[in-house]
Structure 1
Amino acid sequence: MSHPAEDAPDCAGSAAPAELPTKQVMEGAGEILRALAAPVRIAIVLQLQEGPRCVHELVEALDATQPLISQHLRVLKSAGVVRGDRAGREVLYQLIDDHLAHIVIDAVAHAEEQSGADR
């Protein structure tokens, strides 16, 4: 009869530890990931990935209320995910950069793969 410790892989000779970013950079990454953690905010990022949108366009596309969309936009804006530029009476929201859309797209693709594997 073998013991679980005997069946465990040997860690000797494994690769050197990965070099980590600074604590400040990791905290910033954590803040971005927390901001992206709500389904409505994921949907907003997916919409903005297609191009800038006004609040009323997001309200219509996501079938949500204006106060709810505005609240989520504030979270995304404070985390540096989106920015708002005034265009007359409207504010056009857009992603700060494409990295953020890729994070969301990859997470959604992974979740779709997982849900397919669970069937």
Structure 2
Amino acid sequence: MSTSVTPSPRPGSRSVPADVQAASELLAALASPLRMSIVTLLDEHGSRCVHQLVDALGVPQPLVSQHLRVLRGAGLVTGVRRHREVDYRLVDGHVAHIVRDALAHAGHSTEPPAPA
């Protein structure tokens, strides 16, 4: 039987609040340009099967499936089987909102403002 080992905190360190840990895991799941693109497509189109995502993204099917597996594992995407295909959709719109905000933020200039 295998057991997981939780590392003990370093001396002097504080434990991380559960909501901060959960937010960190959410951002880690989104920390890929391809996964952000998948979230954006699912937000725009409601649901898509793998071959539609492959066509839209122009990347190989195994790569799309791998990234969908990460998003599913993080609880961000769910799949519904329809005959031989699986339709993927976002679990909720908050994830797409986070991605849209990140894209908008990245689009802003990172140069410091000019002195007045």
TM-score by length of 1: 0.76
Letter in 2 for 1:74: R
Distance 2:19 2:66 in 1: 26
Give deviations 1:76-97, integer Å, cap 9, x for gaps.
0000110111011100000010
What residue in structure 2 maps to residue 26 of structure 1? 20
1:24 positional shift: 2.0
CA distance in 2, matches of 1:96, 1:114: 32
Relative to 1, partners in 2 of residues 1:27 and 1:54: Cα closer, same or farther, differing over 3 Å? same
For 1:46, the equivalent position in structure 2 comes to: 40
| Identical pairs, percent | 54
- For the aligned residue pairs, the C-alpha RMSD in angstroms reads 1.6
- Aligned position for 1:83: 78
Aligned pair 1:55/2:20, yes or no?
no
Structure 2 gaps, min length 5: 1-15
Counterpart check, 1:74 vs 2:66: no
CA radius of gyration, larger in: 1
Larger proportion of helix: 1
Structure 2 Cα separation of the partners of residues 76 and 106 of structure 1: 18
Number of paired residues? 96
Return the letter of the residue paired with 2:53. Answer: L
Structure 1 runs of 4+ aligned residues shifted over 3 Å read none
TM-score, with structure 2 as normaliser: 0.78
